[in-house]
Structure 1
Amino acid sequence: MRNDLRIGVAGYGLRRSLAREAHRPGNGSRVVALYDPDPGAQRQARAEIGSELRLAADFDTLLNDVDAVMILTPDHTHVELAVAALRAGRATLVEKPLAITVEDCDLILRTAHEHRARLYVGHNMRHMPVVRAMRQLIIDGAIGEVRAVWCRHFVGHGGDYYFKDWHADRRNTTGLLLQKGAHDIDVIHWLAGSRTALVTGMGGLTVYGQVTDRSEGLPQDWFSPETNWPPLAQRGLNPVVDVEDLSMVQMRLENGVYASYEQCHFTPDYWRNYTVIGTAGRLENFGDHGEKAVIRVWNGGRRGYDPEGDLQVPIPAGVSGHGGADEGLVSEFVRFAAEGGMTDTSPVAARDSIAAGVHATESLRDGSTPRHVPPVSPELAAYFAAGQV
């Protein structure tokens, strides 16, 4: 217990599962303090973490007597809290997305650099078994050199999760192409080995803008796969709904790889499908976690329609959230907070996914005009590439 990393948590809402995962008394880390002004969240945290949990009156007080901080609050609050934690020298996990503007991302990176405080971003999909298995197949040369990556994201619960609270207001997210897409854009970058340099976006608010039933708070049955279908039957949407429920992005990466990302919030099914095409084959996942999920590889020569492929790689089902990704993410953060060094997640890559999402959203809202995506400064790139030691 004495050697456990003492963690303070800001926000005990939608991503509270990360805080629960981080509470491992006697096994490396424990959550000792919480800042969340919601009395209901406070009660739930004490019920799940323990009655000894310290409740901080404000964020500055949270920073007392902790070694590390987990920022799990809504997206638009990340920059202020992250800058304060890093200036205080605390190892800091910021849930994805890092921030909702490129300028705020760069401010967070500069603050970590200037104060030599360890910064970690919660891109847990880099720990998802399906993503790691696809990346290993690419590293092993199963499809040759990557030349294209396509991702289709079917957000089947989108009307429940993203249009009934703060997510639906672009002032809090910039847009769902950034908020939800930051995960997938980061995975595309990781699989392709490069960042986006040029984007063009297209999309709109095509369905949920027609739903006129709005609510100041979440209705009692806000999440109900049975009754909230079809999508136009949704009720109790956020008073402000000005983000897109359908979006598409074309990307040219810095290393010449081409990529596309499609996101839809009113599909009946909920999963991600990646297709990666190389100079000697292609791979594709069917399901992204669970017993039936599999990656199929076609690399044995030309043929017609072949649904099975030349190789099938089952995707192991993890125990913790997101197919086991949350456990891997928290374990890496705890080790990094205590020791520093290299991690599979990357603050610069997190910033690059935001930059691509921001500029794609600007393109989408401006007649699909192409946008160049500027890289982070060379000084910051070099610092974070060295592992923040």
Structure 2
Amino acid sequence: MKKLKFGIIGTCCRGELGDYAHQTANGVEIVAGADIYEEQRRSFAERMKAKQAAVNIYADYREMIEKEKLDGVFITSPDFCHEEQACFALRHKTAVYLEKPIAISIEGADRILRTAKETRTHLMLGHNMRYMEFTNRMREIILSGMIGEVKAIWCRHFVSYGGDAYFRDWHADRRNTCSLLLQKGAHDIDIIHWLANSRSVKVNGIGSLSVYGSIPRRPAGCERLDTLTVQGVWSNSHWPPEAQKDYYPEVNNEDLNMINLQLANGVQACYLQCHFTPDTCRNYTVIGTRGRLENYGDYGKDCSIQVWTRRTDRFQLEGDMTYRMASPEDQPHGGADPKIVQGFIDLLRHGTPPESTPQGARYAVAAGVRGAESIRSGGMMLDIPALPDDLENYDFAALQ
């Protein structure tokens, strides 16, 4: 069994995802971490010490990659760092697990894919919703033919914690994210494509900075919240939104986004995202020629998928069939995080193709980028560019 040594770039917050890879009994170890912030390096060292792991700590990710001879690296840094860091690691023949979104521009995403192909180095994307139980069950129902041929997919995304997660820090500024259609919406756009077995070719949308644009902000020069402060401001008591304060100095990303998507195979879809709802849920409706399915909840004991396959001329809360989820409520993303990390290990060790693909991640970003451009240009219908044929057809798991 091949032993694997991993490093982490961006060691806290989503960097804790990489901790699942420390499996000494399985011959897999986290041996190093890089972070520009001292308190986050210290927190990472303490986490690894609790796992009895001796790790080397770096302030510069490039030094870590050049010195450590890693088999792979988890890149969980802010979105605007992804392109530079992923390309550097790939050029040094270090396999990359890259947290979504792959990049904040279509060109940046294409450069990452191109670098992985040219260096023949593994690249895996952190679209962990492809590993969640409810999305997999929806896909199974669709593939079974139970609801017929899919014609429409609608996703409503309620984000109660939007104010704490996206408007108190760097996410609030479109220079760092392009749009929250990428940072948050890339998950759902990717799942829409996955369920439809296609990709978006056209998009138009409307949106606005409806609430968080007028809430009091921190002064310029106070952009960063340290790790402890971030933990302190994440609270369900922060309600209603307009009663809050101390937001990021520059807030220009929309907190309300609505996009319509035309997919290549004829499926039509829409994605609706709101960051000032009192509750949190992703709610998908998939309509086929013989039925409809809808999920209630993402994971946990209250999550179910309802399927309607018989005509009735009135609303029914429960479907003709109900599928209950068993995914754990006390694990991040319903247990999807350890599964996707194991997918990266299996890719490197056995060449097992992961559920998430670089091409899928790129098309999710491309739809988000063009969707944001449409919103900011009066709702025009815009084309979404296809990948060059060599990248479209490249097998990033097999390393052709």
Normalised TM-score (structure 2): 0.94
User: 1-side partners of 2:335 and 2:16: how far apart?
Assistant: 12
The offset of 1:3, in angstroms, is 4.0
SS in 2 for 1:296: strand
Residue in structure 2 matched with residue 284 of structure 1 by the alignment? 294
The offset of 1:315, in angstroms, is 1.3
Contact 2:2 2:349 in 1 (8 A): no
User: 2-side partners of 1:385 and 1:118: how far apart?
Assistant: 6
Instruction: Return the match for 2:86 from 76, 82, 96.
Output: 82
Matching of residue 174 in structure 1 with residue 175 in structure 2: no
User: 1-side partners of 2:313 and 2:396: how far apart?
Assistant: 42
Matching of residue 12 in structure 1 with residue 20 in structure 2: no
The offset of 1:17, in angstroms, is 2.6
Contact 1:343 1:387 in 2 (8 A): no
Residue in structure 2 matched with residue 30 of structure 1 by the alignment? 29
1:266-321 alpha-carbon deviations (Å, 9 max, x no partner): 00001100000001000000011111110000012334211111000011223631
Residue in structure 1 matched with residue 54 of structure 2 by the alignment? 52
SS in 2 for 1:80: helix
Amino acid at match of 2:54: E
The offset of 1:104, in angstroms, is 0.4
SS in 2 for 1:267: coil
User: 2-side partners of 1:42 and 1:25: how far apart?
Assistant: 22
User: 1-side partners of 2:293 and 2:194: how far apart?
Assistant: 15
User: 2-side partners of 1:3 and 1:254: how far apart?
Assistant: 41
Matching of residue 108 in structure 1 with residue 112 in structure 2: yes
Contact 1:348 1:384 in 2 (8 A): no
Instruction: Return the match for 2:100 from 87, 96, 103.
Output: 96
Matching of residue 236 in structure 1 with residue 239 in structure 2: no
Residue in structure 1 matched with residue 386 of structure 2 by the alignment? 375
Residue in structure 1 matched with residue 369 of structure 2 by the alignment? 358
Instruction: Return the match for 1:344 from 355, 365, 375.
Output: 355
User: 2-side partners of 1:95 and 1:207: how far apart?
Assistant: 28
User: 2-side partners of 1:146 and 1:62: how far apart?
Assistant: 47
Moved more, 314-323 or 183-192: 314-323
The offset of 1:369, in angstroms, is 0.6
Residue in structure 2 matched with residue 127 of structure 1 by the alignment? 131
Residues 198-217 of structure 1 aligned to structure 2 (within 5 Å): 198-214=202-218, 216=222, 217=224
Contact 2:123 2:396 in 1 (8 A): no
Contact 2:303 2:325 in 1 (8 A): yes
Aligned residues: 387
Higher fraction of helix: 2
1:23-75 alpha-carbon deviations (Å, 9 max, x no partner): 11222421100011211111111111126111124222211221101101000
CA RMSD of the aligned region, Å?
1.5
Identity %: 45
Residue in structure 2 matched with residue 302 of structure 1 by the alignment? 312
Residue in structure 2 matched with residue 272 of structure 1 by the alignment? 282
User: 2-side partners of 1:388 and 1:284: how far apart?
Assistant: 37
SS in 2 for 1:99: coil
Moved more, 334-343 or 173-182: 334-343
SS in 1 for 2:202: strand
User: 1-side partners of 2:63 and 2:2: how far apart?
Assistant: 22
User: 2-side partners of 1:282 and 1:327: how far apart?
Assistant: 31
Amino acid at match of 1:34: G
